[in-house]
Amino acid sequence: MYAEFMTILPVLIELQATHDYLRTIERDLTALPPDLAALDAQIKAQDKRLNELDRGVLEGTAQVEKLTKELELAKRLEEHARKHLKTVDQKVKYAAAIREVDERERQRHGLERPLKELEARLVAAAKEQAEIKTRRIEAHAQFTELHQIFMAEHENQVVARKELEKKRKTLESKMTPAEVTRFGRLLSQRMGRAVVKVEGGICTGCRVKLRSPFLVQLHETKSPMGCESCQRIIYIA
C-alpha cells in the first residue's frame, strides 16, 4: 500500500519533524500583538467593505443604464402622446388623448425618481470608496512599519524558518514529486502526524490495535505500511 515510501522512512520522519517546527514558528510569527492585530482586522474590514461597494456600484451602474433606456423610451412616448393631443379636435377622442398624456407622464415620473435616487447612491458609494482607500493606505503603511519591527524582534524565528525551509526542500528532493504530494496530503489530513510508530502492537496515531497477521508482516518486512484504521504510515522502531 505504501510501497513507494519504503526506502525513505528516515526522510519522512525528518520531514514531518521539520513541518512541525515550521508550524510552531508560523504560529509565533502570525500571533500578532494587539496593535498589529487591530490594524490587520481594520484592513480586512476595509477590503470587505470595498468589495461590497464594488459589487454595489457594478449592479447600480447596470441598473442606471437600464432605467435610462426605459426613461428615454418613456419620454419619446410622452412626446408622441402630446403631439397627438394637439391634432385631436373631436371631444371624445380629446379626452382619451388627455388620459394618454397623463398616463405617459406618470410613467416618466415613475422612472425619473428611482433613477435619481440610484444616481445619488452611486455618488455616495464613490465618495465612500475614495475615503476608505485613503484610510486603507494609511493603515497599510502603519501595519508595514509595525510589522517590520515585530519581525525584527522575532529575528530568531525568521532565521530558523529560512533554515527549515531549506531543510524541507533538501528532504523533499530525496522524494519523487508524487511522494511529496501524497505525503503532504496525508500530513494535512492527519493533523501533521502522517508517519507514526507502532508501540505494543498499537498504532500510536489512532490508538487502534493492529491485527496479528498485519503486525507479523510489519515485523518481518521491517518496512513501513499503512495503518488499516487511520491510513497513517506506520513503522516499528
Task: Summarize as ranges the residues that interact with Zn ion (CB under 5 A).
Answer: 203, 205-206, 227, 229-230
CB of 218 to Zn ion, least distance (A): 12
Q: Please state, in angstroms and rounded to a whole number, the distance separating the CA atoms of residues 221 and 21.
A: 31
- Phi, psi (5° rounding) for residue 154? -110, 35
Nearer Cβ to Zn ion (205/224): 205
How many residues does the structure list for the chain? 237
Find the distance separating the first CA and the last CA of the chain, reported in whole Å. 19
Nearer Cβ to Zn ion (74/203): 203
CB of 28 to Zn ion, least distance (A): 30
Q: Please choose, from the candidates 64, 174, 189, the residue with its C-alpha nearest in 3D space to the C-alpha of residue 125.
A: 64
Please give the grid coordinates belonging to residue 158: 525568521
CB of 229 to Zn ion, least distance (A): 5
Nearer Cβ to Zn ion (13/97): 13
CB of 232 to Zn ion, least distance (A): 5
Q: Long-range contact list for 218-224, CB < 8 A, 24+ apart? A: 223/6, 223/9, 224/2, 224/5, 224/6, 224/9, 224/12, 224/195
CB of 234 to Zn ion, least distance (A): 6
Type of residue numbered 90: Q
CB of 189 to Zn ion, least distance (A): 12
CB of 224 to Zn ion, least distance (A): 12
Sheet holding 202-203, edge to edge: 202-203, 195-199, 233-235, 225-226
Nearer Cβ to Zn ion (9/77): 9
Q: Please state, in angstroms and rounded to a whole number, the distance separating the CA atoms of residues 133 and 44.
A: 12
Nearer Cβ to Zn ion (74/187): 187
Nearer Cβ to Zn ion (203/218): 203
Q: Please state, in angstroms and rounded to a whole number, the distance separating the CA atoms of residues 102 and 38.
A: 59
Nearer Cβ to Zn ion (50/230): 230
